Amino acid sequence: MLNGRFVKVPEMIPELIVPDLKDCNLKPYVSYKAEDVIQSEFTPQQLFDAVYSKKIVIDYKQGKLNADGQPLEPSEEENLQPEEAVQRAKRTGSDIF
């Protein structure tokens, strides 16, 4: 409300984008007969192994580390600042929620 009047803001009106599923063979539900998926919590060690460990091993074997153990050719992920990494983790599509 602005000066006692309702102000319409188009950006604040939800827009539902729904795909056309008329030719889709999949059903819009999950059967009760489906098995439960039990997955453990993704630990920091598993995250490190999934993102960084392979490149670190390759860099070590190829001699691409400096005297301090830092990569001579850092990847995009290795160049991220902590604040940037947190922003990426919180953006739409991440599994943080």
One-letter-per-residue 3-state SS of the chain: CECCECCCCHHHCCCCCCCCCCCCCCCCCCCCCCCCCCCCCCCHHHHHHHHHHHHHHHHHHCCCECCCCCECCCCCCCCCCHHHHHHHHHCCCCCCC
Position 36 in a domain = yes
- Overall pTM surpassing 0.85 (yes/no): no
pLDDT at 61: 93
Q: How much is the average pLDDT of 57-73?
A: 90
Q: How many domains does the chain have?
A: 1
Position 78 in a domain = yes
Q: Which domain holds residue 33?
A: 10-90
Position 3 in a domain = no
- pLDDT tier at 58, thresholds 50, 70, 90: very high
Q: How much is the average pLDDT of 17-21?
A: 85
Instruction: Kindly list the distances between the CA atom of residue 31 and the CA atoms of 1, 25, 38, 39, 57, in Å, as whole numbers in the listed order.
Output: 46, 15, 17, 19, 44
- CA atoms of 6 and 12, how far apart (whole Å): 13
Position 4 in a domain = no
pLDDT at 85: 83
Position 79 in a domain = yes
- pLDDT tier at 62, thresholds 50, 70, 90: very high
Position 17 in a domain = yes
96, pLDDT greater than 60: no
Position 69 in a domain = yes
pLDDT at 94: 63
